[in-house]
Each structure stands twice: as structure tokens, then as C-alpha cells.
């Protein structure tokens, strides 16, 4: 049995783990929304009389937009700090950390909308979460996106694809 905690993962294995994490987080959001949606038989969309008095009606979409903007900013900041002299595996580990931070912010905003839907059954909040999930779907890691985000060289891209 090997107790060495510094086992080196190949670049392809790191990318594969990112490709597994992404849909797992997305499926979790979809399942949670589906379960909450199926519990209530009557959901409403924009109950104007009650919604205008409810401050959370404004907080949920603002929080969603803020999380999207913050996730983009933090992701960009983290990926820009990845040193060019690192090995590809080290770059990908840092990239994986940046992606997980980005995904966590987006998932948190989505779950917040779903949770508030569960208390009001106002479809507007579920729609906000669905919008976040659609954006989340576009962030699926792949070789080309990783190459662009990390500004990898041609040799590094070939190594990542191998």
C-alpha cells in the first residue's frame, strides 16, 4: 500500500475528473429542483400582489447576477495567476481549483433560488435557477476551453489530448 500523498496525476486524468465534477454538480441542482417542483401541485408565476412586498423577490435575481459576475472575476483572477513555468499537471490542478470555486458560486446561487421556490412556489425563482443552470452547462470543461483559459502552448495541448 502506497501512503505517498503526492501521487502525480496525469493531465488527462485531471481533465477527466473536471469533466466528472461538472455534470455531477449540474445533475444535483436539476434533481433538487425536480424534487421540490414535484412536491407542490400548484405553482404560481409572479404573484404580483405578494411579490412586490417581498424583498427576496428582488434579492434572488440580484444574488444570482452577483454570483455570476463574481464567479467570472474570481475565475479570471485565479487563472491569470497560474505561472507559465509550472508543469501542465500543476497548471491543471490550479485550474481545477479555479473551476471548483466558480462552480460553487454558481451552484450556491442556483440552490438559493430553488430553496426560495420551495417556500413560495413562485416559478420566477425556479426560472432564475434554471438560467444559472443553463449558464453552468456552458462551462463544461473540455480540451479547447482549458487550452484557451490557460493559454497553453501547442505542445501542452497535445499532451492534454494524449
pLDDT range class, residue 151, cuts 50, 70, 90: very high
**With contact defined as beta carbons under 8 Å apart, do 33 and 129 qualify?**
yes
Greatest mean pLDDT among 35-39, 85-89, 92-96 lies in: 92-96
Reply yes or no on whether the pLDDT at 64 is more than 70.
yes
Backbone angles phi, psi at 122, to 5 degrees: -95, 115
pLDDT at residue number 122: 87
Distance of alpha carbon 109 from alpha carbon 85, whole angstroms? 35
Q: What is the mean pLDDT of the chain?
A: 89
**With contact defined as beta carbons under 8 Å apart, do 122 and 44 qualify?**
yes
Distance of alpha carbon 98 from alpha carbon 82, whole angstroms? 10
Q: pLDDT, tens digit, for every residue of 109-129?
A: 999 999 999 988 889 999 999
Among the listed ranges 34-48, 92-106, 119-133, which one has the minimum average pLDDT value?
Answer: 34-48
**With contact defined as beta carbons under 8 Å apart, do 64 and 108 qualify?**
no
Instruction: Give me the mean pLDDT over the 80-91 stretch.
Output: 90
Q: pLDDT, tens digit, for every residue of 39-54?
A: 877 776 666 555 555 7
Amino acid at each position: 500500500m502506497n501512503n505517498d500523498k503526492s501521487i502525480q496525476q496525469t493531465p488527462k486524468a485531471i481533465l477527466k475528473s473536471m469533466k466528472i465534477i461538472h455534470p455531477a454538480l449540474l445533475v444535483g441542482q436539476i434533481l433538487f429542483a425536480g424534487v421540490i417542483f414535484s412536491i407542490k401541485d400548484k405553482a404560481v408565476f409572479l404573484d404580483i400582489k405578494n411579490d412586490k412586498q417581498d424583498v427576496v423577490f428582488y434579492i434572488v435575481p440580484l444574488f444570482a447576477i452577483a454570483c455570476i459576475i463574481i464567479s467570472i472575476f474570481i475565475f479570471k483572477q485565479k487563472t491569470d495567476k497560474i505561472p507559465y513555468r509550472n508543469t501542465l499537471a500543476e497548471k491543471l490542478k490550479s485550474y481545477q481549483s479555479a473551476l471548483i470555486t466558480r462552480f460553487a458560486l454558481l451552484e450556491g446561487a442556483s440552490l438559493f433560488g430553488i430553496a426560495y421556490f420551495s417556500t413560495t412556489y413562485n416559478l420566477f425563482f425556479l426560472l432564475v435557477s434554471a438560467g444559472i443552470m443553463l449558464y453552468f452547462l456552458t462551462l463544461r470543461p473540455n480540451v479547447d476551453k482549458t487550452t484557451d483559459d490557460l493559454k497553453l502552448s501547442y505542445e501542452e495541448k497535445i499532451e492534454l489530448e494524449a
